[in-house]
Structures are given as structure tokens and as C-alpha cells.
Structure 1
Amino acid sequence: MDKNSLIGLFLIGAILLTFTLMNNDEEESKDDKKESVETKVDSNKSATADVAVLTTAQKDSMIIASIPDSLQKDSVYVTNYIDSVHKVEQLTLQNESEKTLQNKFGIFAPAGKEQEETFTTIENDKLIVKFSSKGGTIVDVKLKEYQSYDDYKENPDEISPLQLVNESNSKFGLSVMTPETIIKTDELNFTPQHTASHVKVGENDSVSLSYKLLSNDPNKYIEFNYALYPGKYEVDFTINYVGLNNIDDMMYDKSFIYWGMKGLSTEKLADDERRIATLMYRYSGLKRDYLSEGSDSEEELNEGKVTWVAFKHKFFSSAIICEEGFEGGKVKQKQLESEDFTLDYFAKLDLPASPTVKTKLFFGPNEYETLAAYDNGMEEIINLGWGIFGWVNKWFIQPVFNLLRSWGLAMGLIILLVTLVIKTVITPLTYKNYISSAKMRVLKPEIDRINEKYPGQDQMMKRQQETSALYRSSGVNPMAGCIPMLIQMPILLAAFRFFPSSIHLRQTNFLWADDLSSYDAILSWSGDIPFLTWAYGNHISLFTLLMAASTMIYTIMNSGNMAQPSQPGMPNMKVIMYIFPVLMIFFFNNYSSGLSYYYLCGNLFNIGIMYAIKNYFIDEEKLKAKIEANKKKPKKKSKFMQRLEEVQKQQQMQQKNRK
């Protein structure tokens, strides 16, 4: 090897040694920088313990620190390297997110991804209904022909559509069991099959909307179809399970609808609404049933198929109807202490095991004719009373009321005429009752003498025998006045249910009352007065005062007809009769002013009828003469009286034997 070759090898070795030393310095510098960055990040994490994710700038600093210094000067290389790292991170997060969605939503994981929520509004002449792609459901409903009390007071000449459902007070969805998990549709994003954001229904047309809940298979999805027709208060709602008819894909018998709603207060007094509001339902082929008004309660629907379930407010209802019938479920309600809400309603309804389920969603007024048109018992949402009281309202008071209303009369005049018709019908019964009372007054002196002759409990049997003999000889039946009264009572009391539930009184003014469906305050005050606010309220209702005053006047006039003296140990009925009008002031103060006005009219008619009968139709002297004549006639004992006397004699013998 020559001299030049040795020099060359030496230089190459020196260069390699120098490069190695420099590279080690760079690696140490890189490590120091990386450690510095990590220390800085750790310091920031300590300073902000709640921050779990590094900022983009911090991540970029760490990425840059991992690049050799010789390459950090190449900006293009650094940018591309940072982008590649971010893409790897995003891909990793995406994979983790998809895995989470897969675990939570099964085959419907694609619908769980974040999407922009879109809204579509459709309306006819009755409703304005808003739909959301989130859950593919109704989120807002307004009734175009009605308005809240607050809007009515603010502008009575212009109707602002009444809000029945809004995005914050209602939750509606479908729960379905898939092979992987149980999904709830209100948590998922549906794909609208339309582009319009607002559509109006024509007079002879309809509007249909379709929302699809897509799965990871384009041939398998759940479809919600909605349809709105002119002149209707309901929205047709159809559920289609497309491509999911295999038991491995979908278990229909495990699917159910869940619907929760906080009832919005739309009237003058939320407490009054709560008194009437309730949750109602009907089993197929049976009468409707309901949860107890004014209570927190729940019920399992396990007695058959359920035709409909209704969230009943005072004058409006939100209901779901299924002609095929829900298989069962559960309903419950809770009272809400709020001026904005009434009840918290909830219904869980098991769906029929079918790939297509047809239902209707009703949002409308509690108007008898509207509800009766469904021919499924929904008219019973209007609680007209139980038994005979409901029959009187349905077949007598309501037809008369509707007839008068069809004539276009003012509501105050209609109530007056309804009262007049009722009093005219029961006047013969009132007359018979008064005749019986007059006869008892004629006999009162003789009855008093019998009571004085046989005082005390030990002579009660003898006293009764003598009194019965007096009634028989004079031809007076002491029960004759009770029977007409019993016949009248259902007619008089039926109105207690009819007027407060009639939507036709709502926001109708008369004299000083601005709303006959609620109280008529002539004086109000703010704040709570101990006991008084709870028992009476914070206002004075004039119709209630007038009704109570007229009841007191009628009671005073009628007290003279109470011929029979109080028996020993019996309460003084006259005192009770005088207390009753006072109690009515407290009881009716928060009630419908239309109801108080009806009872006021009834009392005035009663006073007039009593005055006319007493002064123009009954002569007590003639009655007395007739009774005396009856005493002289021979009387044949009926078999009933014979048996009664035998029983009385046996009781007398038993009393003597005890002595």
C-alpha cells in the first residue's frame, strides 16, 4: 500500500469518527428537547388537572421534536410528517368511535354518527306539526284554532296558535331489540326522504313524510311514515321494518313505543287544570279507564289489547291510537308543582309483532263531536260523570246545549236557557215535593202532640205506631217528597261535570267574566295568606258570591217547609242547611264561573217557582180540610202495614220481656 492510499484511509476514518460524534450530540440534543417538551406538557397537565387531551400545538411540538434536527429545517418534510401522524391518530379514533357505536347501536351504528339536525314543518287548517331528523319524530305541535289564556288576554282579537307540544316537554321514540343490543330511536339520526322544509296541506290533498333509520346494510332499515290530511287533528304514523323480517335481525315482540310529556299549562289557573287532567286509556271492547285525577299513580296495562292512550289536559288531549291494538304496557302520571306545567305523563306501549304497525297521533280539543267521530270510545275522554250523571249529560243536557249553541246565541244566554229547560222539566217533581211538604206542615201539630205523649227512647216504638197510624188515616205519605227529590238530583248534579269540561265555555266572556271556563275575579291580591290562600285562593269570584247568596235566600224560604221536628239525637238539619251556602263560597271560588252562573240561575228559578207554588197553586186550608175528610173514611190495612204492625208488636213484646 503506497503513501497516498494510507492518507486516504486515514481521512475516511477521521470523517466517520467525526460524523458519529456529531450524531450522538444530535441524539442527546433531540432527547433533551423531547424531555423538555414532555416536561412542559406534564407541567401544563399539572396546572390544568382537568385537561385530559393535549392541544394541537402541544402535539405538533412533540411530533417535531421526534424528527432529527437535520430534517427539521425541511418545512415540507415536517408538514407532511405531522399530517401523516394526525391521519393515523384520526383513523385510530375513528375506529374506536365506530367500535363504540357498534356496541351501542348494533347494525344501526351508522345512524349514531353526528349529523346536522334538520327540521320539516307541515300544516293543515287545524295543526302545525314540526318534525326533526333526530329521532325522526314530532317535536312541536300547535293548534291553529285555539290559543293559550295568556295570548288571549294579551290580544283577544287575534289567535296565536296554541302550543301543545314543544321540543323541551316531549320525548317520543321506539325501542327495538336487535341481535347485538337494544336501541332507542330518539338517540339516533334518521335520514329524511324529502327536501322541503315547510309544506301546507291543500283542501283536497295530503302531505306525507318519510324518515329512514339506516343500518350498515342498505337493504335493512326502519322507516317512519307520517301523513297529514285536511280538516284532521291527527297525524297518521306508520312504522315499517324493511328487510328486518328475520328473527335474527329484529325481535318484533320486544319492540315498544315510549312517550313522555310534561303537560303545558294553557289556561288561567294551573291548579284548576291539574284537577281535571289525567291519563286515560281504553281496552279493546271495553269502556275507557283512567288514572286517578289529582294523584301520582301508575298502572300496568295487562288486561287485553289497548286501543288508545291519551294524555288528557283540561280542554285538549295528546293521544296515540292503534286499531290493531297495543299488546300491553305501562302508564303513569305525576303531579308537577309549577305554573307552567300540569302533569308529567308517560306511556310504554308494546307493539304488535308485525313488520308494519299503523297508528295515529291525535292532537286536538276535547270536543265531544270531534272525539266521537273516531268511533272507538275516545269521546269518553270528556268525563261527563259516572253512571246516571253521565247519561243525563250525554242524552239530555248536552243535546239541549248543542241545539242552543247552533242558533248562534251568546254563551251567557245559552246557560240561562239550559237552566230554564231543566227547571221546566223538573217543575212537576218540584210541585209534588212541595205538596208533600205542605201536607207535612198541616200534620205537624198532631205529630208534635204524639212526640210529647210518648217521649223518650223507651216509648219510641209506640211513638212510631201512632205516627204511622196518623199518616195512614190522613192519606199522607211521608216519603212522597223524597222520591221527586231523588229523581231531580241526577239532573241538578250532572251539570257539575258538564260545564267545567265544556270547551265551548273556554275564553268566552260574559258580563264581568272574561272566561266562563275559569273563575271570574273582581278582586285579586298577590302573596299567600296562611290558610286563606289554600282554602279560598287569592281572589274573589263574584258569580260564586251571588250563587252562595241566592242559595242562602232559597234555604231561608225553604226552611219553613221543614215540617218534621228534629228527633232526639238527630242533627239540626236547618243549621246544616245554613252552613252549606257558606261552604260553597270556598268550594266554588276557583271553579268555572259558568258553573257558578248556572247554579245562580237555578236558584233564582227555584225561588220564583217556590213563590208561585206557595202563593198561587197551593191552599193549605183546603189541604187541611182534605186531610180531615180522609181521616173520617174507613181505611183498609194493606198487607204491608199488617206485617209492619206485627213486627212492631213483636218488638214491643221483646222489650217487655227484657224488663
Structure 2
Amino acid sequence: MEQKKFDLNSFIGMILLGGILLWWMNTSKPEETKDTSNKTEQVVDSTKNTNNTVTENKPVFENDSLKQVAITNQLGAFAKSAINGAEGTLVLENEVVRLVINNKGGQIIEAQVKNYKTYDSLPLYLIKDKNASFNINFGTTDNRILNTKDLFFEPSVTKNGENQVVSMKLKVSDTQFLEYRYEMKPNEYMVDFAVRSQGLSNVINSSNPINLDWSLDGYRHEKSMRTENTMYTYYYYKAEEEVDYINAGNSEVLNDLDWVAYKQHFFTSNLLSDTPFTNATITSTDLVKNEDIDTVFTKRFELKTPLALTNGELNYNMKWFYGPSDYNLLKTYEGTDLGESADLGWGIFGFLNRTIFYPVFNMLKGLLSNYGLIIILMTIVVRILMSPLVYKSYVSSAKMKVIRPELTALNEKYPGKENAMKRQQETMAIQRKAGVSMMSGCIPAILQMPIFFALFKFFPTNLDLRQESFLWANDLSSYDTIFTLPFKIPFYGDHVSLFPILASIAIFFYMKMNQSQQANMQAPPQEGMPDMSKMMKYMIYFSPIMMLFFFNNYASSLSLYYFISNLLTIAIMLVIKNYVIDEDKIHAQIEENKKKPKKTSKFRQRIDAAMKQAQEQQAKQQKKK
């Protein structure tokens, strides 16, 4: 076989072809630019006078005519925003809050409350890692449906005096755009936010609904998942001049909606609007499936509302609030009623907290820095104010003790069911002559109930107590732990809290002391009627156990209050019993009262007449038998 010889001409030709191919490949690459389609992160800090800018090249779209045609077909008049848009974020920051705003969607993608930490000492975020979305859905005159969250806004930064202003514009052209305008003041949680359009009356289709959607998954921030999620995380709103809330799993359609508050125990994310939303749908969904399993989110909050055009344009002045749910702070925003979202209780309970307990607490806070001592002093103030009711109850008890022998004799004089009406009538006559009312012992206890329930709301929702330590409790807004159990007890938990134990012991001794007083208040047991003294014996043991279980997972500040309150009540009762009440004087006063003629009110006359008539009917029935 003939061997093929080396062809020098072919070899040179291959080298030349390879060189031409390499030259063509290099010259066909698009020219790199240094200044177009940038990813920009700007930091705007209203505590400083300088802006820091970091720039990286990251084009959203390559200079590809086919892609530009596809984008134009998809977005129509707003294609320019996608073609020229740049990936990037801008940081708006002052002393108390830090907001990160994304060019894509022009929306807030991070909201950090700066001076607070989570229960595990991490930075506290209300928005982060795509847990929130703000979007406006609208139609265009060329029959396209667009979402602002998918489109790129062009950012710019200016100043309005000391305020930092960020403008995000979704442009059709330099004179036609949709703008989100943020204005942040120094040392302020509330951020002005405007949504307005310019020159879009011929671009936005007014016959299509324009819908605003704002949703947020609430992060867990507190130690007790059960307390944070089930007791204090609500969806608050103000509609038609009324503030109300909805529970998880519910949805409502509202008109004249002024604001919504995504409240998470101690922190809240709020949207306020000068132009009330109509036909707005708000929804709250519980994301906690099992409280025994650690989770990131607690609830999902959603707002869906249509926006109205004015002369073909959007024009809404709003406000964002990302910060603490602090009553002292929220009440300063006059005309908004945001203070009602601080969850101080409804009716008389909220009234007591707003008009008595917060002013007293704030006064003591100005004098002391230790919140445990503030709670103790506040408890002393409350118990001193309530001591006249305790005294009134003890006086009634002493009077009943004095007339008890007469009531016992009355039972012996009128035995049996057939004399029940007559026995009751004579009992009331003896009590009336002695100046004793059976209700006099109940009224003090009834009057103390609103205070009990008001403080039940006051301490666990008071932001000042959050992560404040006292003795062995490292957080007065949550439960204290002296021992962690290797198992979980139903309704009790997997830990042992000391303050609820002390409070339960104190309430046991208080009820033990109170037992003899209540026994004096009761008339001798009558035939056919239950003996209340036996029920009270059971309650002496049942109430402390119930308190021990219930408060083991509750705020240690509340258990501390009840512990000190019961100790003080016991001390006040001992002082009244041993140094104030004189039974001999009371007996003498009763005997003196019996001698005085008693005026009978018309109401009492009607009761006596009714009882007499019932007694006569009972006698007739017995004769027939």
C-alpha cells in the first residue's frame, strides 16, 4: 500500500482557516459596557448627611433584538421598564427602622426594627426573605394585564429638608410613569408612602379593575409560641370610624377602610391611607399547625382592595408603619386610633388600662429603672386603692357573724319546705333591721373583677417589659423557667415556672383566710338548699391548681403581680381583722339600728307584697293536700 505523503499546502491552509475562525469568533462578541444596566444598591441613612453607593454590572437583558421584541409583545407600553431596568435595592434607614426597597416591584423587601431583638437575640425583621408582597394589578388599553411586582422601577434619591425621599418610577417615558414615593423622617417609624401616576390616562384601561394586594407571613419573635400566636396576634383594622379585629381563619369585606394592622404580639406592620379603601377584603390565616413544633411563621395576613382612578390617574397618599405595638407610641398618631390596636382589652378593661394603669406605670417608670420593682410598686398602689372594698367586705362579714345566731334560730322556728317562703321573709327582715345586705359581700368582689381582667391584658402586652429581667426571670413578658422537664405535661408544658408556684401558694392562703369570712356572710344552710361551704372547700384547692397550670406558660410579670397582690391582700385582711374591726361595737350598732324605725322603699314594699302573696298561695296549696 502506498503511504500518504505529508501535504505542506494543506497544513498551511488549515492553519489559516483556524486563524480566520478565531478572529471571527472574537469580533462577533457584543461590546462590553461599563456604565449601562447596572445593579445598584444605595444606602440612604436619615441619621447622616452622606449617601453610600455600591455599583455592580448586571444587565437584566442582553442587547438582543429578539428578546426586546418578545418583551415589547408581552408588556406593551411598559416594555421600556423591563429592557432598561436594573436589578438592585435601595436602603432607607434612620435611628429606629431600616427598609430595603427593591427596584423590581418598587416594594419593600426588608423591614428591620433596629432597637429590638428576637427571643433568641437575632435582629428583628418584620419583612425578609420574600415573606411579604405588595402588588398593583392593572389592565392596559392594549388589553394586557400587568403586575407591578414583576416590573422594574427606576430609583432616585432626594431630600426634603431633613427627610430622605426615595422615588421609584415605573416608566413608559420620562413624562409617563407610575410612581411609588417613600419619605422617611429622622427617628420615626411612620414612613410616608404615595402611589400616583402621571400621563397614564391613555395607557391604563379604566374599564378594568385596578387591584392592590398586600400580604405578609408573620415571623415568630417571642419565646412562647402559644402566647404569641393564639392570644396576641390579630388582624386589626379601622373601617367606618370603628376599630375592630378578626381572628385567624376568618375573612371580611369592608368599606371605608382607613388602615390595617398586621399585629404580631409586640410588633406590627401597618398600611394607612388618606383615601379610604372600599370593598376591601382582609383575611387572616393561622400558619401554626402544631404548637409543639418550632416554626418560622405564625399567621398570614392579606389585604385585597380595588383602587379608584381620579381623572384617569392614580393618586393615593398612604403611610407605612413597621415598628413596635407600643400603646404609648401608637396613641401619639392623632386622628388614626392606632392606639386601639395595642390590645388593652375591650370596654371597661381597656378604659382602666388607658386611664389608670398606663399613667401609673409610666409615672413609676420615670422614677425607677428596674421593671420588677415597678410592678411591685404598682401592685402596692392598686391594693391600697382597693383596700376600702376589702374593708367593706370585712364589715359585712362581721355584721353577718353577729346576727348569725338569730338566723339559726329562725331556721329552727320555721323548719321544712312548707315554711321556706316565711323563713326567707323573716330572714330579710332581720337583715334589714341590722343594716346588713347579702349583696354587700358580693359587690366588692364584683368591683375587683374588672381590675383583674384589665391587668390580665396590661402586663402581657406591655412592650416595656419585653426582655426585661427580674430575679430569676430573664423576660418579664414571657414565662420564667427554673427547671426544664424531659417530657411535656398536658396544659402545663415542658418547664417549671417559679412565679406561678408562688402565686398559687399565696392565693391558697388568701382563700383559706377568706373562707371563714365567707362562711360568716352565708346564712345558715336551709333544708333543700345546697351547702355553699362545701363548694368553697373544693375551690380552695381547685383555684390554686388551675392558676398553676394556666400561668405556667404566661407572662412572668402577671404571675409576679398576682403573687404580690395576694400577699398584700392577706396583710390588709390581717390588719383590718385585728386592728380595725371591733365586733362588740358592730353588735351595739346593730342593736341600735333595730330600735330605729326603718323606712321601706317602694321597691322593697313591692317585693314584700309579692313574697306575702306567694306565701298565701303556698298555704292554700298545702290545705288542699
Q: TM-score, normalised by structure 1?
A: 0.79
Q: Deviations over 1:463-508 (max 9, x none)?
A: 2111111112222222222233333322233111111110000010
Partner of 1:347: 303
Partner of 1:132: 102
Identify the match of residue 245 of structure 1 among 178, 201, 204: 201
Partner of 1:576: 539
Between stretches 324-333 and 93-102, larger displacement belongs to: 93-102
Identify the match of residue 269 of structure 2 among 302, 309, 318: 318
Does structure 1 residue 177 correspond to structure 2 residue 136? no
In structure 2, give the amino acid aligned to 1:178.
T
1:299-448 → structure 2 map (5 Å cutoff) = 299-301=252-254, 304-337=255-288, 338-354=294-310, 355-375=314-334, 376-448=336-408
Q: Aligned partners of 1:252 and 1:305: how far apart in 2?
A: 22
Partner of 1:212: 169
Partner of 1:298: 251
Does structure 1 residue 150 correspond to structure 2 residue 120? yes
1:439-518 → structure 2 map (5 Å cutoff) = 439-518=399-478
Q: Aligned partners of 2:415 and 2:149: how far apart in 1?
A: 79
Q: Aligned partners of 1:314 and 1:492: how far apart in 2?
A: 21
Alignment: residue pair count: 561
Q: Aligned partners of 2:412 and 2:84: how far apart in 1?
A: 93
Does structure 1 residue 231 correspond to structure 2 residue 187? yes
Does structure 2 conserve the Cα–Cα contact (< 8 Å) formed by 1:272 and 1:591?
yes
Partner of 2:3: none
Secondary structure of the corresponding residue to residue 346 of structure 1: strand
Identify the match of residue 645 of structure 1 among 580, 585, 608: 608
Compute the RMSD of aligned alpha carbons: 3.1
Does structure 1 residue 162 correspond to structure 2 residue 124? yes
Deviation at 1:143, TM superposition (A): 1.4
Q: Aligned partners of 1:610 and 1:566: how far apart in 2?
A: 26
In structure 1, give the amino acid aligned to 2:482.
I
Deviation at 1:192, TM superposition (A): 2.2
Deviation at 1:106, TM superposition (A): 4.3
Deviation at 1:78, TM superposition (A): 9.1
Q: TM-score, normalised by structure 2?
A: 0.83
Deviation at 1:330, TM superposition (A): 0.9
In structure 1, give the amino acid aligned to 2:326.
E
Does structure 1 conserve the Cα–Cα contact (< 8 Å) formed by 2:175 and 2:199?
yes
Is there any run of 5+ residues in structure 1 with no aligned partner, and where?
Answer: 1-72, 152-159
Higher helix share: 1
Change (3 A) 1:76 1:388: same
Identify the match of residue 102 of structure 1 among 47, 64, 73: 73
Q: Aligned partners of 2:463 and 2:308: how far apart in 1?
A: 35
Deviation at 1:222, TM superposition (A): 1.1
Secondary structure of the corresponding residue to residue 508 of structure 1: coil
Partner of 2:156: 193
Aligned-residue sequence identity (percent) comes to 38
Q: Aligned partners of 2:408 and 2:154: how far apart in 1?
A: 88
Does structure 1 conserve the Cα–Cα contact (< 8 Å) formed by 2:515 and 2:536?
no
Secondary structure of the corresponding residue to residue 109 of structure 2: strand
Does structure 1 conserve the Cα–Cα contact (< 8 Å) formed by 2:111 and 2:125?
yes
Secondary structure of the corresponding residue to residue 116 of structure 2: coil
Secondary structure of the corresponding residue to residue 517 of structure 2: coil
Q: Deviations over 1:396-420 (max 9, x none)?
A: 1110000110123311111111111
Does structure 2 conserve the Cα–Cα contact (< 8 Å) formed by 1:252 and 1:353?
no
Q: Aligned partners of 1:537 and 1:599: how far apart in 2?
A: 20
In structure 2, give the amino acid aligned to 1:556.
K
Partner of 1:33: none
Q: Aligned partners of 2:321 and 2:421: how far apart in 1?
A: 65
Deviation at 1:149, TM superposition (A): 1.5
Does structure 2 conserve the Cα–Cα contact (< 8 Å) formed by 1:253 and 1:351?
no
Q: Aligned partners of 1:655 and 1:102: how far apart in 2?
A: 94
Does structure 1 conserve the Cα–Cα contact (< 8 Å) formed by 2:138 and 2:204?
no
Q: Aligned partners of 1:456 and 1:391: how far apart in 2?
A: 49
In structure 2, give the amino acid aligned to 1:393.
N
Deviation at 1:99, TM superposition (A): 4.7
Identify the match of residue 273 of structure 1 among 200, 214, 228: 228
Secondary structure of the corresponding residue to residue 561 of structure 1: helix
Q: Aligned partners of 2:512 and 2:569: how far apart in 1?
A: 12
Higher strand share: 2
Q: Aligned partners of 1:370 and 1:344: how far apart in 2?
A: 25
Does structure 1 conserve the Cα–Cα contact (< 8 Å) formed by 2:479 and 2:555?
yes
Identify the match of residue 92 of structure 2 among 109, 122, 131: 122
Change (3 A) 1:79 1:316: same
In structure 1, give the amino acid aligned to 2:249.
D
Identify the match of residue 547 of structure 1 among 503, 506, 512: 503
Q: Deviations over 1:411-462 (max 9, x none)?
A: 1111111111111112112211110111112222322333344344443212
Change (3 A) 1:307 1:446: same
Q: Deviations over 1:360-397 (max 9, x none)?
A: 11001112232112111001111111111111111111
Deviation at 1:146, TM superposition (A): 1.1
Q: Aligned partners of 1:112 and 1:457: how far apart in 2?
A: 91
Change (3 A) 1:100 1:133: closer
Q: Aligned partners of 1:101 and 1:403: how far apart in 2?
A: 64
Secondary structure of the corresponding residue to residue 407 of structure 2: helix
Q: Aligned partners of 2:484 and 2:69: how far apart in 1?
A: 61
Between stretches 563-572 and 404-413, larger displacement belongs to: 563-572
Secondary structure of the corresponding residue to residue 231 of structure 1: coil
Does structure 1 conserve the Cα–Cα contact (< 8 Å) formed by 2:162 and 2:186?
yes
Change (3 A) 1:570 1:386: farther
Q: Aligned partners of 1:309 and 1:386: how far apart in 2?
A: 19
Q: Deviations over 1:588-639 (max 9, x none)?
A: 1111100110111110110000000000000122222322333344444333
Between stretches 576-585 and 501-510, larger displacement belongs to: 576-585
Secondary structure of the corresponding residue to residue 457 of structure 2: helix
In structure 2, give the amino acid aligned to 1:607.
I
Partner of 2:583: 620
Q: Aligned partners of 2:411 and 2:459: how far apart in 1?
A: 46
Partner of 2:35: none
Does structure 1 conserve the Cα–Cα contact (< 8 Å) formed by 2:71 and 2:83?
no
